[in-house]
Structure 1
């Protein structure tokens, strides 16, 4: 299936993702107001960037600063598959916790990072809200890896952030139906999204949303145990619907909420 799929990420404009499957396609020389980060998955792309040309085969990441003149594509008849991120300067700097970002290297062959980026983009393009949120978290962490690979130095803030994680856990646990966005969590703690995620995962072993979801399913188990109907449990704990509760409850405990209640009999 050929074409391009697009989606906005986060609460505010300035961060978009794209997944493209094209054949024999070439882009005319153009520029963007945003940073553009692409991972080539299939095809031998010939890139033109600010007067120089280079090859970007499968597994290559390319990065373009705002305003840079770029163009490129693959030969006629050749399949081409890639994913791209389009991030405005201020959101990218804020996500990484730096004052300013500029990529020094336009291309690096990093196959594992390219595959991870493609997987995260597919999650963002998924119809399931929780999967989309996990994709956003993954992309935020991968942005730091990409930035460092392309020559951006990131500050070390994780140690200072560790002490705020318990505060965030209390805030999330106080109202599990609220489900704040990653932007809201970062603003609540006064941290960049990258440092929030890195510190939380290092201390807890899960992302904030994963931690909140396991607490939500644990509380669902308690409510089901005292006989509350699954539909009401889903509503009280902020699941999208009963099937959403079923999916996560089964993944955690190996059986559906209904089967769990019948087993308790």
Structure 2
């Protein structure tokens, strides 16, 4: 039995949520309930489910979605490989992320393999030891929560064009704080837009998520600092990279050469 958990976002403020990934060989959960919404993607194996007196099953590629307080139980047959990923999202966190007063799921089971696969990718990102990858996972999951919520019966406010102003405000904020890792809560509060709608608008206007946009600006500024003669270590510290190897990894992906080799080429 292998399970991994991580908390994303602001734990103290109640704005974050928990993610989990599990690989089991047959397992059953006794009847229980959660204070949070529970959303799971079944990636391998068949789960027999008991939910508030109803019995059904979820196969590979299915998604289950339970409201807070619903009594659930079940599991996979003994010896059966079973893999799934789950999100545990507090009521207030989900509502605020989507810009709603209240959220309730109407359907506990979705047969959407593509969405389940995307959810698995986002959870894997969120569980990464690389802070930037983990933050990208949080962004990815926040957007997916909108799609998932709509799919299980939640009606989101009509999409209204936010225009470029909130996006430009966020770009200015990110550019002024490149050495810091701003939370999604801080970004949304700065432009007074829900996290889901802000992420969607930012991607529509730039083709990138806020964290991706900030990373490309970091690597671009690294070029200028390296040209100016600062060491790779100094540049990494100035631009908020975890260490020199972290800068090297992302700089090399962007420009096809390591920072050290790039700087040596300038001297030659």
Structure 2 counterpart of 1:177:
179
Indicate the residue corresponding to 2:245 in structure 1: 243
Question: Aligned partners of 2:242 and 2:158: how far apart in 1?
Answer: 37
Aligned equivalent of 1:153: 155
Residue of structure 2 in register with 1:228 after alignment:
230
Residue 87 of structure 2 is matched in structure 1 by 85
- Divergent runs of 4+, >4 A: none
Shift of 1:171: 1.3
Q: 2:24 is matched with which residue: 16, 22, 25?
A: 22
Taking structure 1 as the reference length, the TM-score comes to 0.97
The offset of 1:7, in angstroms, is: 0.7
1:206 is paired with a residue whose SS is: coil
Aligned residue number for residue 163 of structure 1: 165
- Say if 1:158 and 1:195, in contact at 8 Å, map to a contact too: no
Where in structure 2 are the equivalents of 1:187-206 lying within 5 Å? 187-206=189-208
What secondary structure sits across from 2:157 in the alignment? coil
1:133: how far off? 0.3
Task: Give the SS at the match of 2:79.
Answer: coil
User: What is the CA-CA distance between 1:183 and the residue it aligns to?
Assistant: 1.4
Deviation at 1:72, TM superposition (A): 1.1
**After the TM superposition, which of the residue ranges 213-222 and 154-163 deviates more from structure 2?**
154-163
In the alignment, structure 1 segments of 5+ residues that lack a partner are none
Which residue of structure 2 aligns with residue 3 of structure 1? 2
The alpha-carbon deviation at position 160 of structure 1 amounts to: 2.6
Q: Is the 8 A contact 1:37 1:63 kept in 2?
A: yes
Counterpart CA distance in 1 for 2:66 and 2:172 is 40
Partner of 2:54: 52
Q: 2:77 aligns with which of 75, 91, 114?
A: 75
Deviation at 1:157, TM superposition (A): 4.6
Task: Show CA shifts across 1:7-37 (max 9, x none).
Answer: 1011225510110111111111111110000
Equivalent position SS for 2:162: helix
In the superposition, the TM-score normalised over structure 2's length comes to 0.96
C-alpha separation between the residues in 1 aligned to 2:26 and 2:242?
41
Deviations 1:208-260 (A, max 9, x none): 11111101100000110121111111111111111111011001000001110
Task: Tell me, in whole angstroms, the C-alpha distance in 1 between the residues paired with 2:125 and 2:180.
Answer: 22
Q: Which ranges of structure 2 fall in alignment gaps of 5 or more residues? A: none
